[in-house]
Structure 1
Amino acid sequence: MVGDAIAYDDILVPTDGSKAAERAVEQAVELAAESGGTVHALYVMNVGDADFMVTPSDIAETKERLQKKGARFLDAATDRAEQAGVECVTATKSGIPEDEILDYAREHGVDLVVMGRRGRSDPDKPLIGSTTKRVLGKTDVPVRVV
């Protein structure tokens, strides 16, 4: 722990590649560097938000596209953490984003969740995006909204 700062052992940062998520990754890495913690970067494939899905082959194609996209976002988070000398664990889940975020936080004993206030799927929301708002309303884990 540095000064009077709170030490976090495990910091979860969900990422969707949005600018807000990129800033959340930056802050999660900074906090982990200050406290000697680990960053957990999580990408949730929300297949329901896909551009189109008509047939099973469309679904498979969409999942493959989302996995590739998520891998890029997680690689970027890992690179940022490595540059700061911070351990980074990555995971990809499929499902309803807020449920997967909350499940991951519980399963891994996360001390803090750092999230962007708006993600890719809700850029026009006025203040806090729907996923972030639902996570805030359903968890006892501290959430830092970036």
Structure 2
Amino acid sequence: MTDQRANHIDEILVPTDGSKAAMRAATQAVELANEYGATVHAMYVMDMGDVDYVAVPSDIAETRERLTKKGRKFATQVEDLASEANVECVVVVESGIPEEKIIEYADEMDIDLIVMGKRGRSDPDKLLIGSTTKRVVGHTDVPVRVV
């Protein structure tokens, strides 16, 4: 990380799954964005898993639509936090493998910091860190604050 990047944060990515940990991370991200005058990117990644391979096309479309609505709801919760703090927020809903999409988006959008919960809905029993968070931390050059 260059000195310039370490001293200023313009773009903060907050992956969310609507969990309590994700919302705590979003709160910290919004506070940091407010302090630095940064933009928050609220991102939900639909993990369709094996649905594409075991369901008929109409079921896939229905499931994708349902997950998109759920994702927009979760990302909009982050957007609402940002709005209350007068922080600019971009809402992103993607489909794919969560850690891959998070890292790809961070690279494409020149994200300065990723702020994410230590575990999400799919990892409620993990004591230390969830699998998606662990994979993001281990595979990105972007600093990650784990909340």
Q: Secondary structure at the match of 2:66?
A: helix
Shift of 1:125: 1.6
- The Cα of 1:21 is off from its aligned counterpart by 0.4
Contact 1:45 / 1:97 at 8 angstroms: preserved in 2? yes
Q: Does residue 34 of the first structure (1) align with residue 24 of the second (2)?
A: no
Report the residue type matching 1:136 in the other structure.
Answer: V
Aligned to 1:25: 26
In structure 2, the residue matched to 1:78 is 79
Instruction: Return the letter of the residue paired with 1:101.
Output: I
Give 1:54-73 correspondences, 5 Å limit: 54-73=55-74
In structure 1, list runs of 5 or more residues that go unmatched. Answer: none
- Counterpart amino acid of 1:141? V
For residue 84 of structure 1, report the CA deviation from its aligned partner: 0.3
Cα offset, 1:78, TM superposition: 0.9
Partner Cα distance (2:15, 2:60) in 1: 23
Q: Distance in 2 between matches of 1:22 and 1:68?
A: 18
CA distance in 2, matches of 1:9, 1:49: 36
Q: Work out whether residues 7 and 36 of structure 1, in 8 Å CA contact, stay in contact via their aligned partners in 2.
A: no
In structure 2, the CA distance between the partners of 1:32 and 1:49, relative to structure 1 (3 Å rule), is: farther
Distance (Å, rounded) in 2 between the aligned partners of 1:122 and 1:55: 28
Q: Which residue of 1 aligns with 2:126?
A: 125
> How many corresponding residue pairs?
140
Q: Does the CA-based 8 Å contact 1:39-1:88 persist in structure 2? A: yes
2:3: which partner in 1? Answer: none
Q: 1:49 to 1:11 in 2, by over 3 A?
A: farther
Shift of 1:58: 1.8
How far is the alpha carbon of 1:7 from its aligned partner? 3.0
RMSD: 1.5
Which whole-Å CA distance do the structure 1 matches of 2:102 and 2:37 have between them?
A: 22
TM-score by length of 2: 0.90
> Using the alignment, how far apart are the partners of 1:48 and 1:19 within structure 2?
23
**TM-score, normalised by the number of residues in structure 1:** 0.91
Give runs of ≥4 in structure 1 deviating > 6 Å. none
Structure 1 residues 22 and 103, CA, compared in 2 at 3 Å: closer, same or farther? same
Shifted more, 68-77 versus 54-63: the winner is 54-63
Unaligned runs of 5+ in 2: 1-5
